[in-house]
Structure 1
Amino acid sequence: MTETLRRAPISAAPPRLRRGLLLLMSVSTGLSVAGNYFAQPLLEVIGRELELSTTMATLIVTAAQGGYALGLILLVPLGDLVERHRLAVLLFAGTSAFLLVSALAPSGPVLLTGTALTALTSVAAQVVVPYAATLATPGERGRVVGTVMAGLMLGALLARTASGALSEFGGWRTIYWLNAILMAAVAVLLWRFLPRLHTPVGLSYPALLRSTLAMFRHEPQLRWRAGIGALSFAAFSMLWTSITFLLAGPSYGWREASIGMFALVGGVGAITTPIAGRLADHGWVQRVSGIATALLALSWLAVGAGEGTLGWLIAGVALFNVAHQAVLNTNQNVIYALRPESRNRLNSALMTAFFVGGAAGSLLTSVAWTGAGWTGVSLLGGTLSTASFALWALERVRAKKGRSLP
């Protein structure tokens, strides 16, 4: 690895993106976001140990989504202001420290605090993604973004598997201790190998934040893509938050390790993400986006039928995750092409909307599950996914009309 990973001097010209560095960036993003998902298959066992109600337990998921959204709007834009190497290393080190807070949490409020702070700094992943896009050539940008995002999404999904399995052997806190150590190691590796790149925009921090929000006003495609992403991730969050209660409930009666293993079904989506990126490189980004949003909606038919049939549940969850990753990848490829010099702010704006949608989805999960169980979750998730497809279709109609005007 030392032959393929080399430090580069601070420069306005991006250095070449080597395969070893791409692998490191992909793995680092996965480990960074993993801490936001450890609790999902453990909600039942955490609730019992810390004496939390179901509503309080689901707030752990909400705290992760909300903290991540806050970090996206407050910290990710700094990549357009300060040297990105230093920013990424500091954020990875901070995530390691806050994971220790969760590992030591004696009560629900402390765990909520640790979860929110971990999520806040874990947006380091969203500093690395546009950095990889900047290092890539235009003809390989879709593939590179897809590869890094595959690592990110595998981290989010496999976090559930790892936390469920380790909780059977050492308790639910074990995964937090382990990831804290791994994040510290990643911080050292990134300090050693991540190229230095500084592309300052000449703005103060308050002006930078205002500029990020102004992106929504100046870039119509960003608004459309933010809406599509928010709706799709709201449905994603509903699915993966509520599935813990379904699998632990009377229909299946699974233990934590088995629930965590079920997350492997979602791994197929992360594996197919680079394929969506390659199609985007060949000019198919809008077609892939349309097909993916349609599949999001259709997948809920199988998901709903999976309340008592494992085969339908596996098929629906696998299809949903493939479609969801394709939606995310195409969204990023669209917005990264708008203003190359502002990719961190564009990514911040897009992903803030994305995770605000996720936080709303986790909140709606409690309402839907309490009121109508798995049927309520499936109906609401299907509605959100259908709305995501409707937004894509409406944006395409408006774009065609705009091109037809004299």
Structure 2
Amino acid sequence: MNLQLKEGAGFPDRLLYLLAVIAGVSVANLYYNQPLLEMIRQDLGSTTLAANHIALFAQCGYALGLLFLIPLADLYSRRRILLTDFALLIAALLATALAPDMTTLHVSSFVIGVCSVVPQFFIPLAAQYSRPERKNRNVGIVLSGLLTGILASRVVSGAVGEWLGWREMYYIAAVLMLLSAVVIFRILPDAQPNFTGSYGALMRSLFTLVRRYPLLRLHSARAALAFGSFLCFWASLAFKMAGEPFQAGSDVVGLLGLCGVAGAVTATFCGRYIARVGIFRFNVIGAVLQLAAWGLFLAGADHYLPIIAGILLLDIGMQCIQLSNQTTLFELCPSASNRINTIFMCSYFIGGSLGTLFSGAAWTLYGWPGVVGAGALLTFASLAITLFARR
């Protein structure tokens, strides 16, 4: 495929769906660890807090990757950046599979996080080169691929961990990244850089954008807190399910991730309703759904049905908040779409890292009720920002 993209000329559907698939396969690397944390802890003879930090380092790495790598797409060839990124990612996945101790896992998880930002190169591309009437739809398709990857990652890693072992999951992931790199080399079209100047000037322009657009600050902050609430749940679920009364393994934790398919389905169609329903209402609805989920996690902590229902609500609420905040930001400054996305997603994963950190501390100190309290608090903070901004 040898395409030249032109702004506003339209985005080929074939390319769009291929990028959505690669987005899902790539972002999955960030989430393979979640069902495996208890298994890794036992294998390496570590503490639950140290095992929780595997996910924390991955989230922190992702935030830094968003901050320092994604803006490069406004300056250099996306294809060259992505091929270098895939090479580092493959090396980090192999290092994880061979890790002899928790320290090595923390370092390799951090690098995996930094290099798993591949989908965030695709989202601004779809937004910038889509026709205006199809922009939200196309961004929603790429986001759906990303979300499907997150869901599938938990199911696949849980099953592989139970059947083959946690190390084998990372060998398989390395092979998938090698195949993805080959596909990217063959299909990714050329796109004109959006910025002329040095990398230093490019990074300084991020602060200019933050100062210039109050909506960018608002949307980033409330989405980040909601995502922190979302990951607060997943960061401790493996520890919860390993205890009484469930005594479940990584395969069950992975299967619970399938409940989040509701979030992926939400992203595919709700983009077209953002203008009709309104961003404010979308954020309120999303926060209320998340709070209802935390209520179910507390009241039905020892039963599968409330947990499953809570996962459905948590995922749908998260996608209502993310999609309504992210897609509308690309209209602020189309020529800086990669940098706008960098600021939003970097804030988003800082919030996710905060939620993961809170989850580990809450579990260590107060058990599952502490995790529920931490997650609900983050959702309340997101809702408060929305209500205060409206007022």
Query: TM-score scaled by structure 2?
Result: 0.96
Aligned equivalents of 1:107 and 1:29: distance in 2? 30
Would you say the 8 A contact 1:82–1:200 is kept in 2?
no
**Structure 1: runs of 5+ lacking an equivalent:** 1-5, 398-406
Deviations 1:288-341 (A, max 9, x none): 233212222222111222311211111111101011012111111121111000
Aligned pairs (5 A) from 1:57-76: 57-76=51-70
2:371 to 374, 377, 392: 377
Whether the aligned pair in 1 keeps the contact of 2:296 and 2:310 (CA below 8 Å) is yes
Residue identity in the other structure for 2:60: G
Letter in 1 for 2:168: T
Q: 2:119 aligns with which of 107, 125, 150?
A: 125
Label 1:113 to 1:228 Cα distance change in 2 as closer, same or farther (>3 A). Answer: same
Deviation at 1:282, TM superposition (A): 4.8
Q: Given that residues 292 and 327 in structure 1 are in contact (C-alpha distance below 8 angstroms), is that contact kept between their aligned partners in structure 2?
A: yes
Residue of structure 2 in register with 1:233 after alignment = 227
Aligned residues: 391
- Aligned partner of 1:361 in structure 2 is 355
Q: Given the alignment, which residue of 342, 348, 351 partners 1:348?
A: 342
After TM superposition, where is structure 1 displaced by more than 4 Å over at least 4 residues in a row?
Answer: 11-15
Query: Quick one: distance in 2 between partners of 1:85 and 1:234?
Result: 31
Q: Distance in 1 between matches of 2:276 and 2:199?
A: 37
Secondary structure at 1:173 match in 2: helix
**Partner of residue 24 from structure 2, selected from 19, 23, 30:** 30
Q: Quick one: which of 92, 110, 114 aligns to 1:116?
A: 110
Kindly indicate whether the alpha-carbon contact (under 8 Å) linking 1:144 and 1:277 is maintained by their aligned counterparts in 2: no
Offset of residue 157 of structure 1:
2.2
* Preserved CA contact (<8 Å) 2:77 2:191: yes
Q: Provide the secondary structure at the position in 1 that maps to 2:104.
A: helix
Segment of structure 1 superposing worse, 77-86 or 291-300: 291-300
> Does structure 2 retain, via aligned residues, the 8 Å contact 1:294–1:386?
no
Matched, 1:48 2:42: yes
C-alpha RMSD over aligned residues: 1.6
Distance in 2 between residues matched to 1:299 and 1:257, nearest whole Å: 22
Q: Separation in 2 of the partners of 1:39 and 1:297?
A: 26
Aligned mates of 2:187, 2:361 — CA distance in 1: 46
Cross-structure match for 2:286? 292
CA deviation digits over 1:79-119, x for unaligned, max 9?
11112232233323332232111111111111111111111
Amino acid paired to 1:8: L
Q: 1:278 aligns with which of 272, 281, 302?
A: 272
1:200 to 191, 194, 203: 194
Determine the C-alpha separation between the residues in 1 that align with 2:378 and 2:7: 42
Which of 3, 7, 23 is the equivalent residue of 2:2? 7
- Per the TM alignment, residue 40 of structure 1 is displaced from its structure 2 partner at its CA by 1.0
Native 8 Å contact 1:33 1:155 kept in 2: yes
Which residue number corresponds to residue 171 of structure 1?
165
> Mean Cα displacement is larger for which, 66-75 or 138-147?
138-147
AA aligned to 2:107 is T
Where does residue 385 of structure 2 map in the other structure? 391
Matched-pair contact (CA < 8 Å) for 1:143–1:281:
no
Q: 1:258 aligns with which of 229, 248, 252?
A: 252
Kindly indicate whether the alpha-carbon contact (under 8 Å) linking 2:7 and 2:129 is maintained by their aligned counterparts in 1. no
1:211 and 2:205 correspond: yes
Unaligned runs of 5+ in 2: none
